[in-house]
Amino acid sequence: MEPKQAQDRINYLSRELTRHNQLYYALDAPVISDQSFDALLKELIDLETRFPEFKQPDSPSQRVGGEITRKFIVVAHKRPMQSLDNTYSPEELRDFDRRVREALGQAAPYVCEPKIDGVAISLHYKNGLLQQAITRGNGLEGDEVTANVKTIKSIPLRLTGDNLPEDLEVRGEIFMPKSVFEQLNHETRKTLLDEGLDEEQIQDRLWKNPRNTASGTLKLQDSALVAKRKLEAFIYYVIGDERLGRTHFERIQKAKSWGFRVPEAVSFCQNLEDVLKEIEVWKEKRAHLSYDIDGMVVKVDNIAFQEELGSTAKAPRWAIAFKYAAEQAITSLKEIYFQVGRTGAVTPVAQLKPVQLAGTTVKRASLHNADFIAALDLRLGDSVWIEKGGDIIPKVVSVDLNQRPKQAEAFVFPTHCPACATPLVRETGEAVFFCPNQTGCAPQKLGRLVHFVSKKAMDIDTLGEKTLHLFLEKGLVSTASDLYGLEAAMLHGLEGFKEKSIHNILAGIEASKKQPFHRVLFALGIRHVGETVAKKLAKAFPTIDALRAADETALVAVEDIGAVIAQSIRLFFAQDGNLRELQRLRNFGLCFLAKLEEQALAPDAPLVNQVAVVSGVFSQVSRPQLTAYLEYLGAKVTGSVTGKTNLLVAGENMGPAKRQKAEKIGVRILSEKEFIQTYGLPS
Ligand code: IVH
């Protein structure tokens, strides 16, 4: 193709694709099929690759991303990006209206529009071309995410229309449509299932809601990935002088004519009564929208009035967000069943007649404990109200007593473990019933293993709940230390286990031996010792023996460790079974010694300021243990012998070159035996 011809074609394709984008994304009125669109886009990309000199700065091909940004530049906002005051009550809305009227000395018409649940963005255009996109950040400065934003098809790269302002800033919300979110989670689930993860692990890794996902997506470093996530945007704020329009309503219409997508309905309301009606209308409508809204924004329409009202330090006085309370639904309680957790806690779960709530079907809800059931006086067959708080696990909030079936009897909490029939115990002052059969109760054993391998503990992601269940059932393992004794021959012949998956499982287990002490401590599943407590303990007591020796006074001296945690730790070390398990884990080479960054130094830190190298194979201690111990003694451990090295701890079979080099530059060399004689062994 001749260059001139190519240039004409590139210009034509760019224009056409921009027009179709707008028809599709801003006006929701496409005139060509997706395939035809893709064909035009492909032709444009091909031509631009061959004739890059003709690529336009606002080419629609930028929408497919590909730019890798290393990190985002922080940019100051020209004007702060404020947030909005919000309320859940019509009464407070009336107060807002009163304040507005008093300050202005007259009534002010409002506009009402959906409050989109996404991520705020500020967009800068120069002579109609998109220059810069900045996130809200802390309100004063945000991240420059232009390359990522350019992939969002409802944001025009070039504005259309006449009389465009030379400089323009608009603000709006980037969001992920519900269907895109569901599709993304559907695909993520498939991938994780293929990797052998179980339901709990999958739940852990799935995206939590469209807002978090949109926010995470905008921060991705690879804009090609952003393009795949199909984000969208609405513009709800046009900044500038009166030439842009004297009312918010006018400005939004203008933004629409320039090619922006604007909120579905920006309704004009003469007074507060109209506003309240509009809020009611949208309360119903919102469930059917293709994106999440968490309320309605009420704005004084007249820009001069807005300026007169001004802002507080945090939010404008001319706008307020009305938020809808969490959605509730009523359904009937079919059954209550009991789950036994890894600590033996028995949790009641409500089995419900499936019901739609905030866009998903709910079949189960947590009932917390026996007191919760008693307080609600729950009975089978009851009609119960359920609610989704912050879009996670739904909860039962109340019972409709008017609909209670006549024969419904009060619910009696079981006296024996539903899994192993051991009598349940309840400690004084505790709401939870426990099964005390720690070593024999199957769900507890499984729960402990699942916890042990979980992401924040030993992170053995090649072992899912299903696999662990099978290993327990086949008697291959009983406790965590048994995992380290597994061999390939023991797994051959298990249904569904091929050479490769066996290899992966064993490699995952082996790799976990490198996990630091605080993770091992967390993985042990000592009651009340969560991730943060484990870190604090590892810092205060850098070896497992120091922790074991600590009495209650020493334990509670640590920040955030109270009597309950201290007692639980003491109880753990008082049980022979736990001590045997610890010894086995230690023999398998797990790390029971804190690394420098997580521990206090040894009291006299004899190797402080020294650089040490560990090389070869050791018989009485594992390499990670030895490294951690050297750090505990104050040394910095590096990988190779250099002029800075002070000490080489030489195990068996170490490379002769390394030894020669160390000898040549006069590094102190200690064998394993000599080292232990001098410094002792990590306990
Ligand atoms: S107006 C200076 N309108 O809600 C006033 N904000 O909770 C600018 N939001 O930071 C905000 N939909 O990210 C406005 N129709 C809408 C909105 C909206 C969503 C977000 C926005 C703001 C946050 C405050």
Cβ burial 549-585 (10 Å sphere, 16+ → b, else e):
ebeeeebbebeebeeebbebbeebbeeeebeebbebb
| Residues 223-282 pLDDT 10s | 888 999 999 999 999 998 888 999 999 999 999 999 999 998 889 999 999 999 999 999
Confidence category of residue 46, pLDDT binned at 50, 70, 90: confident
By DSSP bridging, strand 647-650 and strand 668-671 are parallel
Which atom of ligand 1 lies at the shortest distance from residue 311's CA? 2
CATH 3.30.70.3150 for domain 611-679? no
pLDDT band at residue 195 using 50, 70 and 90 as cut-offs: low
What pLDDT is attached to residue 277?
Answer: 95
CA within 13 Å, CB half, 182: 8
Residues 388-406, mean pLDDT to the nearest whole number: 80
Q: What is the DSSP letter of 412?
A: -
Q: How far is the CA of 115 from the centre of ligand 1 (A)?
A: 6
What φ, ψ does residue 247 adopt, rounded to 5°?
A: -130, 160
Ligand 1 pocket at CB < 6 A: 82-84, 113, 115-116, 120, 173, 236-237, 263, 297, 316, 319, 321
pLDDT at 145 over 70: yes
Closest atom of ligand 1 to CA, residue 315: 2
Active site residue 115: yes
Choice between 531 and 574, residue whose per-residue pLDDT is larger: 574
CA 87 to ligand 1 centroid distance, Å: 14
Q: Is the pLDDT at 135 greater than 60, yes or no?
A: yes
Q: Return the higher-pLDDT residue of 276 and 528.
A: 276
Tell me, what's the pLDDT at 275?
A: 96
Give the mean model confidence (pLDDT) for residues 471-480. 95
Spatial separation of the C-alpha atoms in residues 75 and 321, rounded to whole Å? 27
**Given a cut of 70, is residue 623 above it in pLDDT?**
yes
Is 80 exceeded by the pLDDT of residue 177? yes
Rg (CA), the chain: 32
Residue 471, pLDDT above cutoff 80: yes
Q: What is the pLDDT of residues 534-550, one digit of tens each?
A: 988 998 888 888 899 89
Q: Whose CA is nearest to atom 13 of ligand 1?
A: 120
Q: Name the closest-CA residue to atom 17, ligand 1.
A: 115
> pLDDT-based confidence at 460, cuts 50/70/90?
very high
* Mutation probe of ligand 1 site: the residue of 291, 297, 298, 309 with most atoms within 8 A of C-beta: 297
Give me the mean pLDDT over the 32-53 stretch.
Answer: 83
* Over residues 301-316, mean pLDDT: 93
Higher pLDDT, 204 or 653: 653
Average pLDDT, rounded, for the chain: 88
Centre of ligand 1 to C-alpha 612, Å, is: 56
Domains 327-435 and 611-679 share a fold: no
Per residue in 630-672, pLDDT (tens digit) is: 888 888 888 889 999 999 999 988 888 888 999 999 999 999 9
Asked whether residue 422 carries a pLDDT value surpassing 80, the answer given is yes
CA of 72 to the centre of ligand 1 (A): 23
Q: Which amino acid type is present at position 304?
A: A
- Residue to mutate (ligand 1; options 115, 136, 252, 306; most atoms within 8 A of CB): 115
Atom 23 in ligand 1: residue holding the nearest Cα: 83
CA-nearest residue for atom 16, ligand 1, is 115
| pLDDT for res 574 | 95
Half-sphere exposure of 625 (CA within 13 A, CB side): 24
Q: What percent of the chain has pLDDT over 90?
A: 52
How many whole angstroms from 169 Cα to the centroid of ligand 1? 15
Which one from 4, 71, 78, 115 is the annotated catalytic residue?
Answer: 115
Per-residue pLDDT for 194 more than 80?
Answer: no
Q: Confidence class of residue 92 from pLDDT cuts 50, 70 and 90?
A: very high
Span 555-598, pLDDT tens digits: 998 888 888 889 999 999 999 999 999 999 999 999 888 765 56
**Crossing angle between the packed helical segments 563-573 and 576-587, to the nearest 10 degrees:** 70
List pLDDT tens digits, range 352-375.
999 988 767 889 988 888 888 888
The class of domain 327-435 in CATH terms is mainly beta
pLDDT interval class at 447 (50, 70, 90)? very high
pLDDT bracket for residue 388 (50, 70, 90)? confident
CATH number of 3-64: 1.10.287.610
Instruction: Fill in the amino acid letter for 574.
Output: A
> Which residue CA neighbors atom 10 of ligand 1 most closely?
83
Looking at residue 313, its pLDDT comes to 82
Residue 554 has φ and ψ, to the nearest 5°, of -65, -35
Q: Residue 314, exposed/middle/buried by CB under 10 A (0-12, 13-18, 19+)?
A: exposed
The CA 1 to ligand 1 mean position distance, Å, reads 49
- Domain range annotation of the chain: 3-64, 86-323, 327-435, 442-514, 517-599, 611-679
* H helix or E strand, kind and range, residue 331: strand 328-340
Which CATH code fits 517-599? 1.10.150.20
In this model, does residue 301 exceed pLDDT 90? yes
Q: How far is the CA of 323 from the centre of ligand 1 (A)?
A: 12
Q: What is the largest CA-CA distance in the chain?
A: 93
Kindly give the number of the ligand 1 atom that is closest to the alpha carbon of 86: 7
Decide: 283 and 324 in contact? Cβ < 8 Å: yes
Of 346, 351, 524, residue with least CA distance to 441:
346
How many CB atoms sit inside 10 A of residue 200's CB? 13
Nearest CA to ligand 1 atom 21: 120
pLDDT at 431 over 90: no
Top CATH class, 442-514: mainly alpha
How many Å apart are CA 638 and CA 627, to the nearest integer? 9
* Residue ID of nearest Cα to ligand 1 atom 22: 83
Q: Tokens standing for 562?
A: 């109270």
Token pair of 76 as six digits: 């100051």
List phi, psi (to 5°) of 570. Answer: -60, -40
Q: Which two tokens stand for residue 262?
A: 């604007």
pLDDT of residue 66: 58
The pLDDT of 102-108, averaged and rounded, is 94
Domain 86-323 has CATH 3.30.1280.10: no
Q: Do residues 413 and 433 lie in contact, with contact meaning Cβ atoms separated by under 8 Å? A: yes
Element (H, E) at 502: helix 499-511
- Ligand 1 atom nearest the C-alpha of 113 is 15
The contacts found for 35-42 with CB under 8 angstroms, 24 or more apart, are 40/13, 40/16, 41/17
**Residue among 78, 84, 248, 294 whose CB has most ligand 1 atoms within 8 A, to mutate:** 84
